[in-house]
Amino acid sequence: MTATRPVRIGAVDLGASSGRVMVGTIADGRITLTQTRRFANGAIPLPTREGERLFWDVLRLWGEVREGLLAAVRDIGPLSAIGIDTWGVDYGLVNGSGTLSAQVHAYRSARTRGIPERVFATIPAREIYAINGLQVQDFNTMFQLVAQARDNGIPRSSNGAYARTMLLLPDLLACFLTGQRVAEVTNASTTGLVDARLRTWSRPLLERLRTELGLDLDGVLPDIIEPGTVIGPVLPEALEIFGPDGAPTPVVAVGSHDTASAVVAVPATDPDFAYISCGTWSLVGLELEEPVLTLASRTANFTNELGVDHTVRYLKNVMGLWVLNEAVRAWRRQGLETFLPELDAAAATAEPLRTVVDIDDPVFYAPGDMAARIDDAARATGQPRPRSVGEYVRCIDDSLALAYRRAVRQAAELSGREVRVVHMVGGGIRNRLLCQLAADAIGLPVLAGPAEGTALGNAVVAARGAGLLNGELSDLRRLIRDSTDITSYAPDPAAAASWDAAERRLLG
């Protein structure tokens, strides 16, 4: 399945905290990554008539992506294909010429508060879940669109038809590059508007939103495509870059939800695995062939997001390293210079499981002083508050591991799937303590790697879609496995009782 000649794939990978452009070079049965640009990202607060809202500076991100791709061609060589992935749910509206017609809201913006309850008062949650299989998060695109219709509406042209197309962020960047408007299915599945079984927009749900809530999306949603579809060549007026044969470089739809690309990079050898994609968010779940749309699954708030090669990402969102990153930002604002390696070392020497919190509590959702919120949560559950920076970090790590434990066990129970091993991918695996705690808490071996799973998954799917690789998902994973150093963490059987006790203490 390996390429017959060395090929270079541009992998654009945008996260809510940072973005980068990588080049994946495939040669001699291995894939290596080279970073050509890295840049900070973050939501920008702006006042509106509805109150302060958070927005993304999409045009700045586009400029950074553009510079990264130019640097890739200049410093490494012609690109055979380009893939783009970002976080889910957020979207831009483009007009007939393909330019943005409004600012792009960020998912942590307060505009969707109370919107799910408003929707469910008209269309019961159980009926929606039976279609989309999606966990309820205030920021799901469906709720964002209802909020937009309430606040501003979706502009129409003079003849009454919509003059706008909704493009999720990876599709928006692809449109800037190619002029084509599509909706790649792994990211589209985070909108709440996709039928999880059919992998298409749910016409019955769209009709109910129109007739019962006044949200008319006719003409707004582009056609859904699967990962591996060639979207189109890069337009010279967008970016003058060309492939090794002198033709314009194609943009290929990958698993454009970053977790979908990360799951492609899970170096599994058999199907009985769970995964933890560990970054700003931690996505914890299983890879299935069919969605789980039961009442028990909805009650547990598990989601059925769609994956590459017609798979289902059956998972739960765990708050992730967002809490630690926000704590570090607050400490630095307070004049305390802290660096992650030092914090990890301090956490490793702190008393284990002294204080644990429900890391998924909505109180940790918004930006702010996480240490103060941990103090409040500790008091509310009758636990001692952390006494040092190291103890706060240990509390976050222990609490994350407990959340992983609950999510893996619930996913296995709800799906009927046996789990024998847990794969951790993403930047969070550099925290060796967290990986070991995950193994101890779950009681299963943890295999950590690759750290750059999202970019690797992006690159191999783009290469296959461009006809430069062939094979099944297992073949792509073999390529990544052969190119990756994987660290194994064995669970400590003696720790099981302590984790059981910590969970009982947390749950009251």
- Report pLDDT digits (tens) over 3-48: 557 899 999 999 988 999 999 999 999 999 999 999 999 999 998 8
Catalytic positions are 258
Res 497: pLDDT: 96
150, two tokens: 């309430």
Quickly state the pLDDT bin for 1 (edges 50, 70, 90).
low
Res 2: pLDDT: 53
The rounded mean pLDDT for the chain is 94
Rounded mean pLDDT, 252-276: 97
Q: What CATH number should be reported for the domain whose range is 7-252?
A: 3.30.420.40
Res 182: pLDDT: 98
Question: Cα–Cα–Cα angle for 112, 118, 119, nearest 5°?
Answer: 95
- The lowest-confidence range among 210-214, 244-248, 296-300, 311-315 is 244-248
Residue 166 near residue 113, CB atoms below 8 Å: no
288: number of Cβ within 10 Å? 19
* pLDDT, tens digit (0-9, with 9 covering 90-100), for 414-463: 999 999 999 999 999 999 999 999 999 999 999 999 999 999 999 999 99
Res 159: pLDDT: 46
Quickly state the pLDDT bin for 337 (edges 50, 70, 90).
confident
Distance, CA of 227 to CA of 127 (rounded, Å) = 28
Quickly state the pLDDT bin for 157 (edges 50, 70, 90).
very low
Residue count (the chain): 508
169, two tokens: 């962020």
Where are the domains positioned within the chain? 7-252
Res 484: pLDDT: 95
Quickly state the pLDDT bin for 160 (edges 50, 70, 90).
very low
> How many CA atoms does the CB half-sphere of 47 hold within 13 Å?
1
Rounded mean pLDDT, 52-75: 96
Question: Which has more pLDDT, 296 or 240?
Answer: 296
Distance, CA of 117 to CA of 143 (rounded, Å) = 10
- Helix 389-415 vs helix 370-380: angle between axes, to the nearest 10 degrees? 70
